[in-house]
Amino acid sequence: MKKVILLLLASLTVLPASADWIEVCFKDDECGEVYELSSDEFDGEAKEILNNLEKLKVGVYKAYPYYFKNDYRGLYYPDDNNIFLNMGYIGVHDDFLNILRHESWHVVQDCKDGLYNSSLQKIWSTVPQQYTEEAKKRYGLDPTVIRIEREALWAGETYGMSAAQTGECVKKYGL
């Protein structure tokens, strides 16, 4: 039932008039239709984050819910520098921004070790405890996953955090 509701929500997602889908293949070798997002379509913090990601050559795409295993709201693939956002969750502006911030934080973690690799590193040594607890609930007890995800959860709920740090990545690479 939850999948049906997500598919209905995704069908209500309005695509820009000029949006043409492109085909990509996901990690499980399933290929599908995605829609690329552009900073020109947004304003404010979303525009800033997307503009920074464009400079870093990180693709940001929205895709239908059935491409997301385990009902994920978004995914970042560090080995090919692409973010995929689940259209079943991004219809509400605050949800979209939270997911964009979260996934772009993973780009920041990737940037720490050199953006064009497949390694995510923690940025902060201290993170508010509530995000550590939330990471444990969502992702299990693997300490490596918790260190990475707790920061992304924090960034997802914090105005300007992802925008500022993706901007630092742009500076690091002289873009």
At residue 137 the predicted structure's pLDDT band, cuts being 50, 70 and 90, is very high
User: What integer pLDDT is reported at residue 169 of this predicted model?
Assistant: 96
**pLDDT at 3 > cutoff 80:** no
Contact 123, 109 (CB under 8 A): yes
Cα–Cα distance, 49 to 53 (Å, whole number): 6
Q: Has residue 121 got a pLDDT over 50?
A: yes
Strands 59-63 and 22-25: unpaired
Residue 8 has pLDDT above 80, yes or no: no
Which pairing describes strands 82-86 and 59-63: parallel, antiparallel, or unpaired?
A: parallel
By percentage, how much of the chain surpasses pLDDT 90? 68
5: pLDDT strictly greater than 80: no
Does 127 score more than 90 pLDDT?
Answer: yes
Portion of the chain with pLDDT greater than 70, in percent: 89
* pLDDT (tens digit per residue) in 15-30: 443 457 788 877 777 7
Q: CA 13, CA 76: separation in Å to the nearest integer? A: 21
Q: Provide CB contacts within 8 A for 22, sequence distance 6+.
A: 33, 34, 35, 36, 61
Mean pLDDT of 2-9: 37
What tens digit of pLDDT does each residue of 83-113 get? 999 999 998 889 999 999 999 999 999 998 8
CB 128, CB 154: distance < 8 Å: yes
Does the pLDDT of residue 46 top 70, yes or no?
yes
